A and B are shown apart, each in its own frame.
Chain A
Amino acid sequence: QQQVKQSPQSLIVQKGGISIINCAYENTAFDYFPWYQQFPGKGPALLIAIRPDVSEKKEGRFTISFNKSAKQFSLHIMDSQPGDSATYFCAAKEGAQKLVFGQGTRLTINP
């Protein structure tokens, strides 16, 4: 059962542009929503995370927007750079339970 749906599958953005990746979840018991960045051949690296009592969290060029009523959250990458080219995964977690991942978005930033 796919509990976290991620879109788009792939995304191409020009250098300096804004990259936006969206996720939707079904389980209202999820209480932690991290985003991971993964480069080829490497493990996922935690980028930024949010809890549902906050509507937005910003860290540098990365922002999570969270809409609890719509059960959706998104990652915005401002001033996208070629070094941001990677696969991004959203995930969700309920308390002590496992992380449930989206299917990933392959982001390419064109110079």
Chain B
Amino acid sequence: DAGVTQSPTHLIKTRGQHVTLRCSPISGHKSVSWYQQVLGQGPQFIFQYYEKEERGRGNFPDRFSARQFPNYSSELNVNALLLGDSALYLCASSEDITLTAFFGQGTRLTVV
């Protein structure tokens, strides 16, 4: 079975631009969460979706948004990129919102 897949794996953007990151959960998983991991730190929660509805939002500015599609895949959008948005963006999926989360390999975003 394929694990959580994220695309692209690497991305370089300029300050002020917009970026869209994509995630396909493990087959059968209905919950998707997004985390930001800055170098040298633990992942920080951004969003959680379950059955296409937002179930949680972390302490991130409104420049960050996300959505979940009918096939349970998800997109994370970041507008007006800042240098400080450079990080590894991780997607995690789980069968149910209360169960174990499995992470993808992440998207390395570099803002220059």
Which of A's residues lie within 8 Å of B, judged by CB? 6, 34, 36, 41-46, 49, 89, 91, 95-104
Contact = CB atoms under 8 A, between A and B. Distances in A.
Contacts of B44: 101
Contacts of B6: 43
B87 interface: no
5 contacts: A41-B105, A41-B108, A43-B104, A44-B103, A98-B33
Given A95-B98, A96-B98, A98-B58, A36 B103 contact: yes
A104 B103 contact: no
A76 B50 CA distance: 34
Interface in B61-112: 88, 90, 92, 97-98, 100-106, 108
A107 to B, nearest CB: 15
A101 B43 contact: yes
Nearest to A91: B42
A89 B33 CA distance: 17
B102 A104 contact: no
B55 interface: yes
A43 B37 CA distance: 10
Contacts of B24: none
A-B complex: 5 closest residue pairs judged by Cβ atoms: A101-B42, A98-B45, A43-B103, A96-B97, A43-B105
B100 A34 contact: yes
A45 B104 CA distance: 9
B56 interface: yes
A99 B45 contact: yes
Contacts of A36: 103
Contacts of A44: 43, 90, 103
Contacts of B108: 41
Contact of B43 (A34, A42, A99): A99
